[in-house]
Amino acid sequence: MILIALLLPSIIFLGIVFGFPLLSYLWLSLHANSVLTSFRSIFNGWANWNRFIHDYRYWQDFLQTIRFSVASVGIELLLGLIIALILHRPMKFRGWIRSSSLIPWALPTTVMALGWRWIFNSPFGPIDQFTTALGAQSLNILGNPSTAWIATVYSDVWKTTPFVALILLAGLQSIPADLYEACRLEGASASSCFRRITLPLLMPYIGLAAMFRLAQAFGVFDLIQVMTGGGPASSTESIALYAYLNALRFLDFGYGATIIIGSFILLSILVASCWFFVHLFNRKRSIMITK
By CB under 8 A, the residues from 84 to 103 that bind other proteins are 86, 91, 95, 97-103
User: Closest separation between CB of residue 10 and other proteins, Å?
Assistant: 4
Q: Is the dihedral of CA 243, 247, 248, 251 positive or negative?
A: positive
Q: Which residues ranging from 163 to 192 are in contact with other proteins (CB under 8 A)?
A: 163, 166-167, 169-171, 173-174
User: Closest separation between CB of residue 66 and other proteins, Å?
Assistant: 14
Q: Is the dihedral of CA 176, 182, 185, 188 positive or negative?
A: negative
By DSSP bridging, strand 31-32 and strand 42-43 are: antiparallel
Q: What track of x and - describes contact with other proteins for positions 202 through 241 (by CB under 8 A)?
A: ---x--xx-xx--xx-xxxxx--xx------x------x-
User: Closest separation between CB of residue 283 and other proteins, Å?
Assistant: 19
- Residue closer to other proteins by CB (options 54, 291) is 54
- Residue closer to other proteins by CB (options 23, 182) is 23
Q: Is 264 exposed, middle or buried (0-12, 13-18, 19+ CB in 10 A)?
A: middle
78 contacts other proteins (rule: CB under 8 A) = no
Dihedral Cα 35, 38, 44, 49, nearest 10 deg:
20
Q: 3-state class of 34 per DSSP? A: strand
Q: Which residues ranging from 128 to 147 are in contact with other proteins (CB under 8 A)?
A: 129, 133
User: Closest separation between CB of residue 105 and other proteins, Å?
Assistant: 8
Size of the site for other proteins (CB under 8 A): 112
Provide the β-strand partners of residue 34.
252
Sole window of 184-192, 194-202, 253-261, 278-286 interacting with other proteins (rule: CB under 8 A): 253-261
- Residue closer to other proteins by CB (options 133, 287) is 133
Spatial distance between the Cα atoms of 265 and 271, rounded to a whole number of angstroms: 10
Please select the residue that binds other proteins; options are 64, 72, 121, 228, rule is CB under 8 A: 121
Long-range Cβ contacts of 156-159 (<8 Å, 24+ apart) = 156/68, 156/72, 156/76, 156/217, 156/220, 156/223, 157/72, 157/75, 157/76, 157/79, 158/104, 158/112, 159/104, 159/105, 159/107, 159/109, 159/112, 159/223
User: Closest separation between CB of residue 147 and other proteins, Å?
Assistant: 15
Please select the residue that binds other proteins; options are 59, 70, 126, 272, rule is CB under 8 A: 126
The DSSP secondary structure of 96-153, one letter per residue, reads: HHHHHHHHHHHS-HHHHHHHHHHHT-TTTSHHHHHHHHTTS----TTTSTTTHHHHHH
- Residue closer to other proteins by CB (options 66, 226) is 226
Q: What track of x and - describes contact with other proteins for positions 23 through 52 (by CB under 8 A)?
A: -xx------xxxxxxxx--x-x--xx-xx-
- Residue closer to other proteins by CB (options 82, 182) is 82
Sole window of 175-183, 194-202, 264-272, 281-289 interacting with other proteins (rule: CB under 8 A): 264-272
CB 221 within 8 A of CB 244: yes
User: Closest separation between CB of residue 291 and other proteins, Å?
Assistant: 28
